[in-house]
Amino acid sequence: MQKHHRFSLWYVLIAIWGVLLLNNFIVTTYGPKNLPYSEFLQKLQAGDINEVSITGDVISGTMKDQENGEAKTVDFTTRRVDQNLSTELSKYNVHFRAQPESTFLRDILSWVIPILLFFGIWYVLMQRLNPGSGVMAFGKNKARVYAEKDLPTRFTDVAGCDEAKAELVEIIDYLKTPERFQRLGGQMPKGVLLIGPPGTGKTLLARAVAGEAQVPFFSISGSEFVEMFVGVGAARVRELFVQAKEKAPCIIFIDELDAIGKSRAGAIVGGHDEREQTLNQLLVEMDGFDPRVGVIIMAATNRPETLDPALLRAGRFDRQVLVDKPDVAGRDAILRVHAAKIVLGNDVDLSVIARKTPGFSGADLANVINEAALLAARKDKDAVGMPDLEEAVDRLMGGLEKKNKVINPKEKKVVAYHEAGHALVATFTAGADAVHKISIVPRGIGALGWTQQLPTEDRYLMTHLELLGKIDVLLGGRGAERLVFGDVSTGAHNDLQRATDIARAMVAEYGMGQTLGPATYPRQNRPVFLGADQGGLAGREYSEATAAKLDTEIKEILVASQERVAELLGSHREELERVAGTLLEKESLDEAEFKALLGQAGATA
């Protein structure tokens, strides 16, 4: 793809400097000789001045000069100091004349050039404020247009979303051979909405569709429609559709559609919100163009619950394609796509990394490969090995390892027993995920230790027993502290918060409690794909009496879990001491080392 260099004001300054240097060289080499006034008087008294022309205080003329022993006539210029020069010129019989002083050039330099310079700088600044547009052309859309040859992305570059690709194959067939569908009177959907969590490859999938179909691709973000001036967004929508019809068949891709497509419910009646006007214009344009033209509108969002219903009705974005986080097979395929760009060692098994990364999106997996490559390069390795990939996974899941952080021996001992408690409860609790790694090396923000559990397979449902097991594992660290030291620390703050969230969800959302029975009161306006703490309104739809009962039942669940954990750790006190002691020595244990420490008890768990 041809590179476009951005204009810089430095280019103008360098050009002016070059012109000044060139002008100085020409004047010095080929211009009249600049003569001091004292030397001019000496030449005058010696009779070497032929004639002069006086313009104001500037004296120019010709004189006799010696160069290489030969007499020659040269031009000169000097500036007059006294006012009695005419007497001296007449005295030595020099022909002289007076020229009226011209102010034209001075006027140009003092007025015209500053005005031109001002307009030039203003033009450059306007271009920089609105790149790709003319001066004050705020209504022009900012869509980036990619020609067919500029779209190398294909379906082979997209992995982990086979169902989504299968849905979009029909779009490609229509763009390539529209007559195949039109001969029966069928029409393709006007709009395709890609929905899914962040980082799952929605934008990449849209580019792959355009690349496979070999059609122009208009890419623009939803936020680029809206500006500070009212009506700009609507004007950009109109121009975008005009340009797309001229280049049909083509694809218009609007990323982050929720930036302009949020629901108008609750808006002030009679308001003139710029975002609402932009949305209205988009709805009109989607209704107004002929589907036989061959313009397919694709959009992506991770907040479909906030979109206006008018966008999702039939005839607009009437086909919705879910691009979800990949399963273990999808993660394996994504890792192989990104690993093809780096040098891998013979010990690398990407299927193991795929099993270790449940819940990772495509962007997360790409980051794992990149982090592993950086770690290997930092160690001057010739290839990326399995330890580098595992360290990259740990870094993304737990944060940066801070080996230089100084922790006093007492706190380090508390952390060791805390993490050993998590690991033992996870091992001896039915339905809990297996322990993969234990570490008391600080990571991330405030994490003094880490117990990593890995599920044996991808899970989409959890039973009541398994949720109780998760609460037990979370309270295992605090239980170990109480058992060994007779006291608890603040290190269990995050564990308590997560355990309370699970217990509350069991009672209020999953219908697993006794207070509400089969009824459920989930949190209002909960995001579909974003975390619960990233949006939504807090609130409840039940009485204070019911809230008190819920609080009581949540407390009972946590207290019962605490008692089970205390009993379990008490019966495995010997294993707890062994694991914690080894952690204090080695600072980290992998799965094999941990099982070896448990011995026969771990084998029967």
Query: Does residue 247 have a known ligand-binding role?
Result: no
The CATH number of the domain where 59 resides is what? 3.30.720.210
In a domain, residue 394? The reply is yes
User: What CATH number is associated with residue 391?
Assistant: 1.10.8.60
Does residue 245 sit in the same domain as residue 361?
Answer: no
Hey, what are 359's tokens? 């819940």
387, amino acid identity? P
Question: Is 203 annotated among the ligand-binding residues?
Answer: yes
Residue 255: C-alpha distances to residues 202, 221, 261, 278, 450 (Å): 9, 5, 11, 15, 37
296 lies in the same domain as 445: no
* pLDDT tens digits, 107-157: 565 566 667 776 777 776 665 554 444 434 444 556 677 666 677 788 888
pLDDT band for position 589 (cuts 50, 70, 90): confident
Q: Is the pLDDT of residue 495 over 60?
A: yes
Contact, 251 vs 257, CB < 8 A? Answer: no
Determine the pLDDT at residue 2: 44
Same domain, 500 and 366: no
Q: Which of 322, 345, 364 is the last residue of a domain?
A: 322
CA distances to 28, 54, 92, 197 from 83, rounded to whole Å, are 28, 12, 17, 88
476 is in an annotated binding site: no
**How much is the pLDDT for 535?**
44
The pLDDT tens digits for 36-80 are 777 777 777 777 788 887 776 778 888 887 766 677 777 787 776
In a domain, 426, yes or no: yes
| Inter-residue contact 254 to 298 (CB < 8 Å) | yes
State the average pLDDT over residues 6-24: 67
The pLDDT of 270-288, averaged and rounded, is 75
Instruction: Look at residues 56, 46, 50 and name the one whose alpha carbon lies nearest to residue 74.
Output: 50
Last residue of a domain, one of 101, 135, 156: 101
* Amino acid identity for residue 113 in this structure: I
What is the DSSP pairing of strand 434-439 with strand 450-454? antiparallel
Cβ burial, residue 352 (10 Å; 0-12/13-18/19+): middle
Q: Give CA–CA dist 574/400, Å, rounded.
A: 32
Quick one: average pLDDT of 272-292?
76
The per-residue pLDDT for 63 is 81
- Host domain of residue 249: 144-264+272-322
**Any known ligand binding at 201?**
yes
Domain boundary among 342, 375, 398: 398
| CA 181 – CA 184 distance, rounded (Å) | 6
pLDDT at 398 over 70: yes
Same domain, 292 and 335: no
Residue 537: predicted pLDDT: 40
Amino acid 568: pLDDT: 92
Nearest CA to 312 out of 323, 326, 297 is that of 297
- CATH code for position 541: 1.20.58.760
Q: Domain check: are 209 and 181 in the same one?
A: yes
Average pLDDT over residues 378-404: 83
pLDDT greater than 90 at residue 563: yes
Q: Which helix (H) or strand (E) holds 415?
A: helix 409-428
Does residue 552 belong to any structural domain of this protein? yes
**Residues paired with residue 221 on neighbouring β-strands, in sequence order:** 255
Q: What is the pLDDT of residue 456?
A: 63
Residues 178 and 284 in one domain: yes
Q: What is the pLDDT of residue 140?
A: 57
- The contacts of residue 575 (CB under 8 Å, 6+ apart) are 424, 597, 598, 599, 601, 602
* Same domain, residue pair 159 and 211: yes
The dihedral sign for the CA sequence 223, 228, 231, 235: negative
pLDDT band at 12 (very low <50, low <70, confident <90, very high): low
Q: Confirm whether 247 is domain-assigned.
A: yes
Is 56 labeled as ligand-binding? Answer: no
Tell whether 480 and 597 lie within a shared domain: yes
Asked whether 268 and 233 are in contact (CB, 8 A), the reply is: no
pTM of the model: 0.67
**Is 200 assigned a ligand-binding role in the annotation?**
yes
The length of the chain is 605
Token pair in block for residue 117: 């310079």
Q: Residue 252's closest CA among 296, 194, 312? A: 296
Please name the residues in contact with 214: beta carbons below 8 A apart, sequence gap of 6 or more. 148, 151, 176
366 and 434: one domain? no
**For the domain that residue 247 is a member of, what is the CATH number?**
3.40.50.300
Active site residues: 419
> How wide is the angle at C-alpha 475 spanned by C-alphas 473 and 478, nearest 5°?
130
Q: In which band, very low, low, confident or very high, does the pLDDT at 88 lie, cut at 50, 70 and 90?
A: low
**Pairwise pLDDT comparison (89 vs 364), residue with the higher score:** 364
* Together in a domain, 378 and 426: no
Percent of the residues in the chain that have a pLDDT greater than 90, as a whole number = 11
In a domain, residue 2? The reply is no
Q: Which has the closest alpha carbon to 256: 311, 190, 193, 326?
A: 193
Tell me whether residue 159 is in a domain: yes
Tell me: is residue 422 an annotated ligand-binding position: yes
The answer to whether 145 and 152 are in contact (CB under 8 A) is no
Edge to edge, the sheet with strand 33-34 lists 33-34, 70-79, 58-67, 49-55, 95-98
Mean pLDDT score of the chain, rounded to an integer? 78
Nearest to 273 by CA among 288, 263, 287: 263
pLDDT value for 1: 41
In order, the DSSP letters of 337-375 are HHHTTSPBPTT--HHHHHHH-TT--HHHHHHHHHHHHHH
**175 and 215 in contact (C-beta within 8 Å)?**
yes
- Answer yes or no: do 199 and 347 share one domain: no
Q: Residue 135 has which token pair?
A: 């001066």
Report how many domains make up the chain. Answer: 4
Cβ-based burial of 296 (10 A; exposed 0-12, middle 13-18, buried ≥19) = buried
Q: Does any domain span residue 563? A: yes
Q: Which two tokens stand for residue 379?
A: 């160690």
pLDDT digits (tens, 9 = 90+) for 455-484: 766 677 888 898 999 999 999 999 999 999
Q: Is 429 among the annotated ligand-binding positions?
A: no
pLDDT band at 187 (very low <50, low <70, confident <90, very high): confident
199 is in an annotated binding site: yes
Residues 276, 341 within the same domain: no
Distance CA(235)–CA(464), nearest Å, equals 55
578 within some domain: yes
Is residue 518 a known part of a binding site?
no
Q: What is the DSSP annotation of 156-202?
A: GG--S-HHHHHHHHHHHHHHH-THHHHTTT----SEEEEE-STTSSH
Provide the CA 467 distance to its chain's centre, in angstroms: 35
Q: Write out pLDDT tens, residues 343-384.
A: 888 888 898 888 888 888 888 999 999 999 999 999 888 899
* CA-atom Rg of the chain in angstroms: 39
Q: Are 446 and 594 in contact (CB under 8 A)?
A: no
Between the CA atoms of 99, 104, 107 and 109, what dihedral angle is there, to the nearest 10 degrees? -100
197 is in an annotated binding site: yes
